[in-house]
Chain A
Amino acid sequence: MPEIHIKNLKKAFGDLVAIDDLTIDVKDGEYLTILGPTGAGKTTLLRLIAGLTDQTSGSIFIDGKCVDDLPPERRKVAFLSQTYSLFPHMDVWENTTFGPIARGWNPEQVEIIGREMLEMVHLYDRKDAYPSELSGGMQQRNALARALSADAKILLLDEPLRALDARLRLDLRYELKQLSKDMGMTTIHVTHDQEEALTISDRILVLRDGKVIQSGTPKEIFNKPAIPFIHHFVGEANFISGKLLEVGDEYSIIVDDDGHKYRTQKTDIKPGSRVVTGIKTEFTLMTKDIWESEDINNFTGSIERILFLGRFSDFEIKLDNGEIVHARLPGYQANKFEDGDKVNIHYSPQRLLVFPEPEGGIKKALEMV
């Protein structure tokens, strides 16, 4: 069974710890995404699993067998690098059959698997072309066919969609998942693109500074981020730091440093603790009508800046109390607003997630590196 068990894995480059005491289990047939900012150690983790670099300590088990001493060619793990690494001096066919030939299969078997894989990725009619003659999408499919024909049951994908243009990236990510499921592969897909991770994963593992900071289904990661960093990284969020005043059955109340109170979701944190609360910008309600409401989660302000992004727009709003907040609106709604408009901002209490205040303050906790 192609399951992966990683135990207390550590990798250091000199003083720099890239992977820090990592323990992960990947189930058979699972499509796991590792999400994290640049420098989180994602690629290093893949390289460790593939055997391309030696760990400082800890162990990796594949199918229950320790593979620490096995060279890459004996781990039966297919690795697809960011740039695909199609061998430039070999054509599509030679690239695809490289694995079987390297493993010394007999020519008939090589012929069969090569044909099967290339037909699967719809490249059989281009089998005499060289990588430089293929489009980005074809190169990606060729690399995938090559990885799949190598008799591996584990597929490691290192930002496999990064080099493609936006449109193709959307089409191919479903194709990628489908192929891997059809082949019964266990897949680890590394990406820094949260949208990509949310759409294709069975499970997401958020990695930062070589540590797993959260593991869960896409919905869990999006709706119940473990720390402010994930809240901000997966989607974008407005944060308020302050003190937890009281905890109710439905809501909690926190007070910020200027004495303003907010109603937030309920929480297990002890009243009196320092906390931060954050709301994703797409849940920040912005309307043109000023609500004459006593609701403490209601504010007025004016639009400072609009960032037009096509399908949606990002707004920067200066509240009357001087604070800057962000809101994201879908395109059809965004059209109604213009620079300088007076607006009403509302934070829905259920959307204001509460976290213990991170050490060093919220700004530092959100830093990408």
Chain B
Amino acid sequence: MTLSEKISDFISRKKVIKGWYALVIIFFIMLVIVPTLFVLTYAFTGWDEIQETVMKAPPEIQYTPTHLPVYNIRFTSQDIIDVTESYSLEVEYDTDRDTTLNHTVYLLDDGEKVIEFQEEFIVNGTGSIWFNASANDTYNYFHHVGDGYQTIRADNGTGLIEEWENEVTLRSGDRLPWDMVKDALIVSFTIATIVTIIDFTAGLPMAWLMVRKDFRGKKYIDTLIDMPLAIPTAALGFSTAMFWAVTPGLNPYGSLSLTSSPFILVILLHIVFSYPYMVRSLSAILHEIDINYEVAASTLGAPPLTVARTITLPLFRAGLVTGIILCFARSLSETGGTMAALAMMSPAMGELAYPMKTGPTLIGAWKHAGGFEPHLAFTAMILVIITLILLVIIKIVIMKFKMPLRKVFPGPERLLSKGVFPKMKDALSFIFMFLVLLIPSFFIFSFVLTGEPSPVDWGGFWGAMRFSFLVAGVITVINLIFGVPLAIYIVRGTNKIMTNILDVLVNVPLIVPTSALGISLGMFWGSMDLGMTTLLVISAHLAFTFPLVVRNVAGAMEELDPTYEETARTLGAKPMFVFRKIVFPSIKFSVLAGAIMAFTRSLGETGATLAVVKEANTVPVYIVGLVKAGNYYPAALACIALIFISFITMMAMRYMTKKAGDN
């Protein structure tokens, strides 16, 4: 017996296989599920802390408007620049090398200067930058309310050039941190709801068109719908904001500048990346619905609209649930793009000062500011709980909900079914897709082509790229090693109670907002004090991409008739041989699809990364950083580089999954 036969023999033993499955399940529970939900324990362990810090009003502080400092700032050899009202100030610079502008707010804690807030910008050339050190409540310095200092330093690498220090009084505001959490969550859930409704309204006619109609160029439209999925959301946020919104300090050629409401902008952004999921889910189920039902209804005299409403839609629920949950969860979870979009509407402001925050961006801002651990844990916990409850409710309500579908309105429905109306519906679908999806997604190219170039730190970009690829690569390999056996176990396992539980649990990291997941994970591993940035980022990315591999492979396994494996066994093949010769050839494209999905999701993820560690530099984080600092041109170039890389991987995936479909 050769060595490889001995190994295969050993692996194929019943006990070894059982042990391997046990290991995989333990891996899943310990490295994916427990860390994801660990934050829930905070409700018990951190209750006092929550009461102390999140729910309680800080001490009353008198707001003294007379105390407003007035800045007269002269920078290098330039003139005195603008003196702005209250606490915002604009600093103009003129320097011939990279100069670091460091803006720090100190607070006096028992007479000692404590850094409360710090932001850093690297500037070069001539321009101006805004510092917002407003003492109004948007800063929310809950711990150290009172007097302090604000300093601005400039350093061009040759040491400190200048430093200004001013006394400020920071007012606490009359709102609790809990109010901020509440506001952010309300914003998040409202946006997710509106986005899902719009996705459904616009996605249904499109799915219908793609499945039930044949027209020239359908193939290309099909690809176009998926395009936003290939673009990391950080880049989408940047591009979409440029197209739709009023962005101070940036007015690229062709921008519509239609809205200055962050709320509307974030909705527009979230539609871009969630709409493809809705169309995909709906068309998948539409494919399954036998067209003969519709034919039968038509021959019985029902006009097309009536058929669609009374016959097809009720058969649709499963697809609807998937679509709605996917869109809702994606919108709720998105961090990077939202951060970028919000940053562009309120340039050079501290994140905590943005007029609107979503759950994930609040987590990002608090994490970035530092010192808000109880707040973070609390927010993440609430987010996880509400998400899980809400998604269960969505599932139940849609499956139980009886739409008044039986009632038929022959007159109006017949009228709406013919003539200009169906054409209008189709035309609107296309207009929506181009105007809301594609143009905003790719508007960034217009900016790069027409905008004014500014120097790009390619070293920083490639550094971030290397780190992103390292993380994505490692998680993909680990996902495959553990995800494939888990998927096989879920589908083929004999203990049905166990497999059903695992089947439900696998979806949890997919639904939980990634920034909440990141906080939870950070708490879990942080409590063990491993302290390694890279490992933390890897384990966070592992958790939310793991379901993608398992779902894909489990789907393929369900399609695979178990009698193939059984027949192979009776023919004398050991389990490992069966896997290599029978199972793997049948599911390899799904394995590949899962791997590529995990890889690209990891590559594009911002929220989880920012939530686990303060200083991690993946590409999306790097891009969001550039956008926040107002370095739009380099940000755009980095986006485009990332878009190309993502696109190549997506095309590869389409090619391979298509090949799988042909076989």
Given contacts A71-B14, A98-B581, A104-B5, contact A81 B574 (CB under 8 A): no
Most buried by A among B568, B572, B577, B586: B572
Given contacts A85-B561, A102-B577, A104-B5, contact A150 B572 (CB under 8 A): yes
Interface 0/1 of B316-335, CB less than 8 Å to A: 00000000000000000000
Query: Which one of A72-80, A221-229, A258-266, A290-298 is at the interface?
Result: A72-80
Question: Could you tell me if B585 and A78 are in contact, using CB atoms closer than 8 angstroms?
Answer: no
A interface size (C-beta, 8 A): 31
Q: Is the CB of A102 within 8 A of B574?
A: yes
Tell me how many residue pairs across A and B have CB atoms closer than 8 Å: 74
Counting CB contacts under 8 A, is B454 at the interface? Answer: no
B574 to chain A, nearest CB (A): 6
A151 nearest CB neighbor, chain B only: B572
Q: Chain B's interface: helix, strand, loop or mixed, by majority?
A: helix
Q: Which residue of B lies closest to A79 (CB)?
A: B570
CB of B45 within 8 Å of the partner chain: no
B73 touches A (CB below 8 Å): no
Q: Does B566 contact A (CB under 8 A)?
A: yes
What does the 1/0 interface line of A40-65 toward B look like (CB < 8 Å)?
A: 00000001001110000000000000
Q: Which residue of A lies closest to B2 (CB)?
A: A104
In the bound assembly, the distance between CA atoms of A151 and B570 in angstroms comes to 11
Which B residues are in CB contact (< 8 Å) with A103? 572
Residues from chain A with a CB closer than 8 A to the CB of B574 are 71, 73, 102
Of the A-B pairs whose beta carbons lie under 8 Å apart in the complex, a sample of 26, sorted by A's number, is A47-B566, A51-B569, A52-B570, A71-B569, A71-B574, A72-B566, A72-B569, A73-B569, A73-B570, A78-B570, A78-B571, A79-B567, A85-B563, A87-B582, A98-B568, A98-B581, A99-B571, A99-B573, A100-B572, A102-B568, A102-B574, A102-B581, A147-B571, A150-B571, A150-B572, A151-B572
Flag whether A146 is at the interface (Cβ < 8 A): yes
Nearest first, the 7 closest Cβ-Cβ pairs linking A and B are A102-B573, A99-B571, A72-B569, A79-B570, A85-B567, A103-B572, A85-B563
Chain A residues, Cβ within 8 Å of B564: 85, 87
Q: Closest A residue to B586 by CB, please name it.
A: A89
Q: Which residue of B lies closest to A50 (CB)?
A: B570
Kindly state the interface size class of chain B when it binds its partner: 20 to 34
Tell me if A214 is interfacial: C-beta within 8 Å of chain B.
no
- Most central of B561, B569, B581, B582 by chain A CB within 10 Å: B569
**Which residues between 90 and 142 of chain A lie within 8 Å of chain B, taking CB atoms?**
98-100, 102-104
**From residue A361, how far is it (CB to closest CB) to chain B in Å?**
37
CB-nearest residue of chain A relative to B17? Answer: A71
**Distance of A86 from chain B, by nearest CB (Å):** 9
Is A83 close to B, CB under 8 A?
A: yes
Least distance between B660 CB and chain A CB atoms (Å): 12
Chain B 573-596 interface mask (CB, 8 Å, partner A; 1/0): 111010001100110000000000
| Interfacial chain B residues near A71, Cβ < 8 Å | 14, 569, 574-575
A51 to B569, CA, bound (A): 9
Known: A71-B14, A89-B586. A81 touches B572 (CB 8 A): no
In the complex, chain A residues whose CB is within 8 Å of the CB of B566:
47, 50, 52, 72, 79, 81, 85
Known interface pairs A79-B570, A102-B571; 11 further A-B residue pairs with C-beta atoms within 8 A, sorted by A's residue number: A47-B566, A50-B570, A71-B569, A73-B572, A77-B570, A89-B586, A99-B572, A99-B573, A100-B572, A102-B572, A151-B572
CB distance from B16 to the nearest CB of A (A): 12
Measured between beta carbons, the chain B residues less than 8 angstroms from A73 are: 569-574
Cα separation A77 to B566 with both chains bound (whole Å)? 12
Is there an interface contact between B563 and A81, defined as CB atoms closer than 8 Å?
yes
Min CB distance B586 to A, Å, is 7
Chain B residue contacts of A88, Cβ below 8 A: 586
CB distance A72 to B570 under 8 Å? yes
Chain A residues whose CB sits within 8 angstroms of the CB of B14 once the complex forms: 71
Which chain A residues lie closer than 8 Å to B563 at the CB level? 81, 83, 85
Closest Cβ–Cβ distance, residue B576 to chain A (whole Å): 10
Complex CA–CA separation, A71 to B581 (angstroms): 18
State how many angstroms separate the Cβ of B572 from the closest Cβ of chain A.
4
Chain A residues contacting B581 (CB-CB under 8 Å) are: 87, 98, 102
Contact A83 B570 (CB under 8 A): no
> Cβ of B573 and Cβ of A89 under 8 Å apart?
no
- Chain B residues lying within 8 Å of A52, measured Cβ to Cβ, are 566, 569-570
